[in-house]
Amino acid sequence: MPSLNAPPGAIVVIDYGMGNLRSVWQALVRVADGRQVLVSSDPAMVSAAERVVFPGQGAMPDCMREIDQRGLRTAVLDAARNKPFLGICIGQQMLFEHSEEGNVPGLGVLAGTVRRFPPSRMFDAAGDTLKVPHMGWNEVRHARQHALWNGIADGSRFYFVHSYFVDPLDSDCAVGTTAYGIPFTSAVARDNIFAIQCHPEKSAVDGLALLANFVAWKP
- Which one of 134, 146, 162, 199 is the catalytic residue? 199
Range list of H helices, 6-165: 21-31, 43-48, 60-69, 73-82, 90-93
**pLDDT by 10-residue block (mean), the chain, 219 residues:** 61 88 95 93 94 94 95 97 97 98 97 97 94 97 98 98 97 97 98 98 97 97
Residue 199 annotated to the active site: yes
Element (H, E) at 160: strand 157-162
User: What's 164's DSSP letter?
Assistant: E
Residue 142 annotated to the active site: no
Task: Please count the other Cβ atoms lying within 10 Å of the Cβ belonging to residue 54.
Answer: 29
**16 to 61, 89, 189: CA distances (angstroms):** 13, 14, 23
d(CA 58, CA 162): 9
- Which one of 63, 66, 101, 201 is the catalytic residue? 201
d(CA 139, CA 127): 20
What pLDDT sits at residue 1? 44
Residues contacting 173, CB < 8 A, separation 6+: 110, 188, 189, 190
Task: Please count the other Cβ atoms lying within 10 Å of the Cβ belonging to residue 59.
Answer: 17
Q: Would you say 97 and 51 are in contact if contact means Cβ atoms under 8 Å apart?
A: no
What pLDDT sits at residue 3? 44
Q: Would you say 52 and 40 are in contact if contact means Cβ atoms under 8 Å apart?
A: no
What pLDDT sits at residue 9? 80
What pLDDT sits at residue 5? 58
Residue 89 annotated to the active site: yes
- Which one of 89, 101, 134, 146 is the catalytic residue? 89
